[in-house]
Structure 1
Amino acid sequence: MSTRLSGRLTRLLNLVPYFTANPGISAAEAARDLGVTPKQIMDDLNQLWVCGLPGYGPGDLIDLSLSEDSIVVTFTAGIDRPLRLTSTEATALLVALRSLLEMPGVVDPSAAQGAIAKIEAAAGSAAADHDAPPAVSDDPVAATVRAAVHRGRALHLTYYSASRDTVSERDVDPIRVVLIDEHTYLQAWCRAAEGVRLFRFDRIDAAAELPEPARPPAAVDDEDSFELFEGDPTLPAARLRIDPGYSWLIDYYPLTEVQLQPDGSCTAVLRFASPEWMTRLVVGLGAGVTVLGPADLVAAVRARAAAALDAYDALAVDEPDPGRVTEL
């Protein structure tokens, strides 16, 4: 969820108790109190009109009597009451919080641990985990990145790129922290690449907050969707044939132009920055992956595979024959 949408959700959830505590207040007065425009207040209230409890019929939805001069909540649908968790709900929430603690950079560990303690205290022994894991200290790099995102500051990163097999220094304008497939990423505008990039937290070797605000392009900052891997057209592309038993590679590598073949195999394209890395990858995968191009990569893979076979042959010559008896 984007920062913009999550901010509106928080505001919507606070409107019902606010207007319940201030019956008859005008949209202009409410806008001044809440730091938004009167139009935004009216738009939010119209959104609340279709929110409520399951069933979503009369008596289930929030009801309002409103005009720009007077706003009154006539039915709150229970949002004015404190949330009370069942033991099952509390346990599920505790499990989720502990899972977040195991993923670097997603949350501030001290805040999550404080929330866990409060939930356990409120829910009682039914939701408490007597075998809870020990306290987790915050990773300094993750804390720096998360603080920069919160403060809206630019960052200088030392980053290991797995696809290029290199470590680089770059200045970035943070946009948000996202969680994808159990990995935490910083989504940011990379000034060197002049594009949006994802930086995996466990590959950020160092991070330093810069004394300047983050200024990602406005259109990028407002975009909620993005691709996890975006091919760099300037990099060379390897065309691969992948056997049916190796289809798991599609989930592990940023393959593009994937085409399924009648025999169950597929062809795909993988861009790479380091020919040595690409050669090692293909040779390590064995007979399940065949390089179709470019020609120089095909030659490099063949040469490396031949060298590996020669090394095995040399070991076989040096090893004694177990069936041969040595006479003394």
Structure 2
Amino acid sequence: MCGLPGYTPYELIDIVFDNGIVTVIEPQVLDRPRRFSKNELIVIILGLRILSEIHSASNINTDKIEKLITKISALVPTYTSKVSTNINSEFMSDLNRAINHSLKLEIEYTSVSKDETTRRNLLPIELYMLNGSLYLRAIDLDISAERVFRTDLIRINKVGEITNVQINSEQSEKLQISLEVSKSRRIFMERNSSIIQTVKETKNGFKVEVSVSNLQWLKRCILSNSPGIKVIAPAELALEIKQNANAILALYRS
């Protein structure tokens, strides 16, 4: 079930999602579609433009998408000129070619949290949208583990061949962590939306469920944002980070 807040039979829509196909079971509430705000329309246009870029690079007909973009853009003509996906066709063509033919990508990736650019060798797996951003799921060949990259932070240097890739299953295994994030550290959620599963607002901030494969990175991130981010579960991780924080503070006192 999905729909608007309120969750009465008038707001809810009964749907089934199977193999990438959404089927509406009881569509009568769709006879009177709701009016979108300007911000919602701009988000829809942005998503459609990204879809158009992805599919055009794959030689898929995008006429219907373009017609829908034109139709929606007419509703907010003042704002659509400012909407940009920061994605070009050549970039998407290289990504799709690498994904479809299992080709290695040599890239430069800018880390927002570390404020640095590093060179990576990747075997791309898939593209997906999450929280308004387009992400690339790939195997980082330098560490033989799966990682996620924001596409607007990627610069492709070279597309090449690749064979015999083995994944480090220990590093690629996803771990579920519960965090308490203060309102002052909300930027953590914005910068790392690819790992966030759920967010629930609380009296003091947010309860955030994350799924990570790189636990060492998460530990460093929590310590660098302390006391704005705390581990709720698992208890073993919370204790380990507390001990590490105390050890760091002891170095300052010595």
**Superposition TM-score, scaled by structure 2 size:** 0.48
Question: Could you say which structure has the higher strand fraction?
Answer: 2
Q: TM-score, normalised by structure 1?
A: 0.39
Larger Cα-atom Rg: 1
